[in-house]
């Protein structure tokens, strides 16, 4: 039998919305047992976000397969004491409250570490546990704005390009949380001690600018500030950009190296473009303007046919359900078919990228569906469970 690498790992997930739940979804897909602790008055807000299918949030469904749900009121003494007792049976705890909330509840790192020294505790927040803005409210768009990521994309002289996806939440939050959690797990094998993992989504978002920002720091006074739409990888070069087609679609040209852009120029009948294509002092802009004008003369299908079979790093920009039909993604097994019991619905799940074994998807839990089961496993007796599960 193909065993998943994190089989036997137990994770207690107190987080909400996207960053924490996506991190624990990856852990669940790698074999970990993930139990979500939700508040009794509605649970995770994602449960109530549209779109809905037969009364169930599609967003919640996409984030919470193969997890269980227990309801505890952590603001009550009984709920707090139950969590203190419950957490001893877990390897990791993930939360996404503002800094200080868990301490005020009597459930912070120092308290839990003193009682359960092997516990790995991950706190995901917008700006981290320290610094003048640690208590500041925010969402993904705010974090990428503060990190400089938002300001780096878009046309030169124009407005920043809206990213459309949650770079700060997933890239800055979920993925760095996973790195921290797994690094702490490896360390615990050596020391026997858990660790506090402080994840700032704003810190994490700066990773998307690492090459550019690190180079700027190295150049010091000899360099220039980062500029939107004017540099090699954000629109300044004709060989690396997005071009509108006649039918309102878009073509992604990623022919960064001269050998690839030479192939593009040859296919387009303009080999002379290569001579100026990399001159950011003016030549590149001229070539880009001519390429923009040419691409706009024909529909996307014309360009995909022209570049088919050529090794030149040119791809159509897929939109809507085109992604779901992409032959490469399907060949990689990114879409997983299942039957949702007990409803009997046929569903397709989006896998997380790391596939290190076979995953059998289970439907996301209803609010508090496993409260009695989880508490009984932790040693609570029937009378204690009845007091907590109302």
DSSP string, 223-263: S----TT-STTTTSSTTEEEEE-TTS-EEEEE--SHHHHHH
In this predicted model, which residue has the larger pLDDT, 25 or 342? 25
Q: Identify the pLDDT of residue 342.
A: 65
pLDDT at 341: 65
The answer to whether the 10-206+336-389 and 250-318 domains have the same CATH topology is no
pLDDT for 2 beyond 70? no
Q: What is the pLDDT of residue 359?
A: 87
pLDDT of residue 216: 96
**Any idea which of 30-39, 53-62, 123-132, 339-348 has the lowest mean pLDDT?**
339-348
pLDDT above 70 covers a percentage of the chain that reads: 99
CATH top-level class for 250-318? Answer: alpha beta
270 is catalytic: no
Q: Determine which of 101-115, 181-195, 205-219, 327-341 has the lowest per-residue pLDDT on average.
A: 327-341
pLDDT of residue 366: 95
pLDDT of residue 277: 95
Question: Residue 118 above 50 pLDDT?
Answer: yes
pLDDT of residue 281: 80
Which of 294, 304, 316 minimizes the C-alpha distance to 249?
316
pLDDT the model gives residue 288 = 96
Examine the pLDDT at 343 and tell me if it is beyond 80. no
Q: What is the pLDDT of residues 162-172, one digit of tens each?
A: 999 999 999 99
pLDDT 10s digits, 61-104: 999 999 999 999 999 999 999 999 999 999 999 999 999 999 99
Q: Report the pLDDT averaged over residues 109-138.
A: 98
* Average model confidence (pLDDT) across the chain: 95
Residue 169 catalytic? yes
Query: Is the pLDDT confidence value at 1 over 60?
Result: no
Show me where the domains of the chain are located: 10-206+336-389, 250-318
Count of alpha carbons within 13 Å of 272, Cβ hemisphere only?
A: 2
- What's the rounded Cα separation, in Å, for the pair 152 and 212? 10
Indicate whether 345 pLDDT > 90: no
CA distances from 340 to 31, 34, 79, 254, 348 (A): 19, 19, 32, 40, 10
How far apart, in whole angstroms, are the C-alpha atoms of residue 110 and residue 349?
Answer: 38
Give percent of the chain with pLDDT exceeding 90: 92
What are the CB-based long-range contacts (under 8 Å, 24+) for 1-7? 2/357, 2/358, 3/31, 3/357, 4/30, 4/31, 4/356, 4/357, 4/358, 4/359, 5/30, 5/31, 5/356, 5/357, 6/30, 6/31, 6/32, 7/31, 7/32
What 8-state DSSP symbol labels residue 112?
H
Check 169, 198, 203, 349 and give the catalytic one: 169
Residue 214 has pLDDT above 90, yes or no: yes
Statement: residue 26 has pLDDT above 90:
yes
Q: Which fold has domain 10-206+336-389?
A: Rossmann fold (3.40.50)
Among candidate residues 81, 113, 139, 212, the one labeled active-site is 139
How far apart are alpha carbons 265 and 238 in whole angstroms?
A: 11
């Amino acid at each position: 039998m193909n065993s998943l690498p994190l089989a036997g790992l137990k994770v207690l997930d107190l987080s909400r919305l996207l960053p924490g739940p996506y991190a624990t979804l990856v852990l669940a897909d790698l074999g970990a047992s993930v139990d979500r602790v939700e508040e009794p008055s509605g649970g995770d807000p994602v449960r109530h976000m549209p779109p809905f299918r037969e009364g169930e949030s599609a967003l919640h469904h996409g984030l919470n397969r193969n997890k269980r749900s227990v309801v505890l009121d952590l603001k009550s003494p009984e709920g707090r004491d139950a969590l203190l007792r419950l957490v001893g049976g877990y390897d990791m705890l993930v939360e996404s409250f503002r800094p200080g909330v868990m301490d005020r509840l009597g459930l912070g790192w120092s308290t839990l570490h003193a009682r359960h020294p092997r516990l790995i505790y991950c706190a995901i927040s917008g700006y981290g546990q320290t610094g003048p803005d640690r208590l500041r409210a925010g969402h993904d768009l705010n974090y990428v704005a503060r990190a400089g990521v938002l300001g780096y994309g878009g046309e030169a002289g124009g407005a920043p390009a809206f990213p459309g996806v949650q770079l700060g939440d997933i890239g800055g939050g979920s993925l760095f949380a996973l790195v921290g959690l797994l690094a702490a797990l490896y360390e615990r094998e050596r020391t026997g001690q858990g660790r506090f993992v402080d994840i700032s989504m704003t810190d994490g978002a700066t990773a998307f600018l690492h090459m550019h920002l690190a180079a700027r720091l190295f150049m010091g006074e000899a360099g220039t500030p980062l500029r939107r739409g004017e540099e090699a990888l954000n629109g300044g070069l004709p060989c690396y950009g997005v071009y509108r087609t006649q039918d309102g679609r878009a073509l992604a040209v990623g022919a960064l190296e001269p050998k690839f852009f030479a192939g593009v120029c040859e296919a387009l009948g303009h080999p002379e473009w290569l001579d100026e294509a990399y001159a950011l002092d003016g030549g590149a802009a001229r070539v880009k303007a001519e390429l923009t004008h040419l691409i706009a003369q024909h529909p996307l299908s014309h360009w995909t046919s022209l570049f088919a079979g050529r090794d030149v790093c040119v791809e159509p920009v897929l939109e809507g359900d085109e992604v779901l039909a992409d032959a490469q993604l399907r060949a990689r097994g990114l879409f997983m078919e299942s039957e949702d019991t007990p409803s009997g619905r046929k569903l397709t799940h989006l896998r997380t990228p790391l596939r290190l074994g076979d995953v059998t998807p289970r439907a996301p839990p209803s609010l508090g569906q496993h409260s009695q089961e989880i508490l009984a496993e932790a040693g609570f007796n029937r009378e204690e469970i009845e007091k907590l599960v109302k």
